[in-house]
Amino acid sequence: MKTMKVIALLAAFSIPVCTAGCGSGNKTEPEKTPVTTTEATTETVEVPELDGYTLLWNDEFSGSVLDESKWNYEPHEPGWTNEELQEYTTSTDNVFLRGGKLVIKAIKSEKDGKDYYTSGKVTGQNKTDFTYGKIVASAKVPEGQGLWPAIWMMPKDESYYGQWPKCGEIDIMEVLGNDVNTAYGTLHYGEPHGEKQGTWALTGQNYADSFHEYSVEWEPGEIRWYIDGNLYNTANDWFTAVQGEDEKPYPAPFDQPFFVQMNLAVGGTWPKDPDASTDFNKAEFEIDYVRVYQKPQYDTNVSKPEKDYRQAQEDGNYIINGDFSESEDLTDDINWKFLLFNGGEGSAEIRDNMIVITSEKEGTEDYSVQLVQPDLPMIKGKKYRVSFDAYADEERDIIVCVSAPSAGWIRYLQDTKLKVTTDKQTFTYDFEMKEKDDNNGRLEFNLGHRGSTATVYISNVRVEEIE
């Protein structure tokens, strides 16, 4: 791979902002504004050249202070969003450069007799905005309950299509400090809120052990996520609209300038609060570099792909391998998939025309031990029936639902707790689809956080349309 030498800059400079608009033409040629500088360090950094791309801007964090020609500090009071606990400050205790890395540090202290947390958030808004490109960042995350590092993107003008989620959001990476084996890449859009999320799990190592490279290729009709060069998520059928109105022309809202931002949150609705095990002496989110590349031009004459809806089998069942007559790889994204999150430990095996789910640790969430089958067609106005047989080694609870991974995780069949016993029983649940058509409904069996690790046996799973 070719590399180019880039001087680490400390002084102010100008960054080109691409102004691709919705339906403005067939091709967008990014404006090329020369970078101007008045002072630079003598240190050089080898930055890879990428075939078909030009380096638009980058920060190797090789100086002594944050380059405020590229980044803003963004202070916020605690509870500003997601019920997070931290105050984002402009203090160099929370945001600083060390050894060629940007460090965002969460600090625990005390205020008014209660635990108080500060941290940092930096954004490129109005300084390094751009439309379309390849964003590459190398980072090492902290480990600890309640820590939530993220590298993500928001539009320069959030009001252009309307407030979140109508404006759109591109999450390049998120990792929860209590589960540093799994990284998430997510697209948010809507209204109603939709999302496309992918995960990449590591084995034998985790994202807190060392630096990993996270990248997103953002093009007019498709957005792709990579970790260490591995493609793990692709989105191409997003939308945005005001509730009750027509959708904006595709590829809105991802056809406007966005900016990169990075932060380390503490607590919140997703990771939950820190606890006694969280070591704030090590609560540092380190970023080695951020690089943004861009192609000379992009074809903006793109169309939203037609949705492909799974057809029912001859017996009317939308579930594939519902009788568990075929062995499957339960780790891939085809048909059945077994998942572990947030402290859940266990395994699943198909045998004797059933799936056997063995739990070792129940974890902290209902979905900590989970069996799913996605890609179920859910059509507004139709009625569906979910049925299956189940028993367990000893009496225990499980939860069944039909969720919407692409529509904000709303429920088409609400979370339904049921009691399984040592005797095989048949369970049946009917529901009416009242939301927008969705080709990615997901049947879920959630066995985590139920006060039991008893082995569960599931068979004869059906999802069918009823009159």
Separation of alpha carbons 48 and 55, rounded Å: 9
pLDDT for 282: 97
Say which range, 253-257, 392-396, 435-439, has the weakest mean pLDDT: 435-439
pLDDT confidence tier of residue 43, bands split at 50, 70 and 90: low
Question: Per-residue pLDDT averaged across 228-247, rounded?
Answer: 91
- Range scoring the smallest mean pLDDT among 45-59, 167-181, 191-205: 191-205
Q: What is the pLDDT of residue 28?
A: 54
- With a pLDDT cut of 90, the percent of the chain lying above it is 85
In three-state secondary structure terms, 103 is strand
Round to whole Å and give the CA distance between 81 and 154.
15
User: Rounded to 5, what percent of the chain is helix, strand, coil?
Assistant: 0, 50, 50
pLDDT at residue 299 in the model: 96
Judged against a pLDDT cut of 70, whether residue 234 lies above it is answered with yes
Mean pLDDT of all residues belonging to the chain: 91
Res 135: pLDDT: 98
**Residue 277 burial (10 A CB sphere; 0-12, 13-18, 19+):** exposed
Q: What is the pLDDT of residues 201-223, one digit of tens each?
A: 998 999 999 999 999 999 999 99
Length in residues, the chain: 467
Give this prediction's pTM.
0.80
Measured distance CA(314)–CA(297) in Å, rounded: 48
Query: Which residues does 446 contact at the CB level (< 8 Å), separation at least 6?
Result: 366, 367, 369, 370, 398, 399, 400, 401, 415
Among the residue ranges 3-7, 206-210, 241-245, 254-258, the one predicted with the least confidence is 3-7
What was the pLDDT predicted at 27?
55
pLDDT digits over 413-458, tens only? 999 999 999 999 999 999 999 998 999 999 999 999 999 999 999 9
* Band (46; pLDDT cuts 50, 70, 90): confident
Backbone φ and ψ of 367, nearest 5°: -90, 10
Of residues 69, 137, 134, 154, the one with CA closest to residue 102: 137
The vertex-311 CA angle with 334 and 238, nearest 5°, equals 70
Looking at residue 18, its pLDDT comes to 38
Structure tokens at 209: 């052990």
Provide the pLDDT for residue 19: 33
Query: What gap in Å lies between CA 386 and CA 428, rounded to an integer?
Result: 6
Helix, strand, or coil (residue 368): helix
Check pLDDT > 80 for residue 17. Answer: no
Query: What is the Cα–Cα distance from 19 to 24, expressed in whole angstroms?
Result: 10
* One-letter identity of residue 148: W
Closest C-alpha to 216, from 200, 205, 202, 203: 200
Burial 226-242 (b: 16+ CB within 10 A, else e): bbeeeebbebbbbbbbe
Q: In terms of DSSP bridges, do strands 114-119 and 86-88 run parallel, antiparallel, or are they unpaired? A: parallel
Percentage of the chain exceeding pLDDT 70: 91
- Helix/strand/coil (H/E/C) assignment for every residue in 194-212: EEEEEEEECCCCCCCCCCE
The total of other beta-carbon atoms located within 10 Å of residue 192's CB is 16
Cα 119 to Cα 151: distance, rounded to the nearest angstrom? 15
Tell which residue, 363, 383, 358, 375, has the closest CA to residue 456. 358
Phi, psi of 457, rounded to the nearest 5 degrees? -120, 125
Indicate whether 31 pLDDT > 90.
no
Catalytic residues: 169, 174
pLDDT at 39: 35
- pLDDT tens per residue, range 123-138: 999 999 999 999 999 9
C-alpha 394: how far from its chain's center?
36
pLDDT band at 6 (very low <50, low <70, confident <90, very high): very low
The 10s digit of each residue's pLDDT in 261-306 is: 999 999 999 999 999 999 999 999 999 999 999 999 999 999 999 9
Residue 65: what pLDDT?
Answer: 97
Least confident of 30-44, 165-179, 275-289, 375-389: 30-44
Tell me the mean pLDDT in the region 81-105. 97
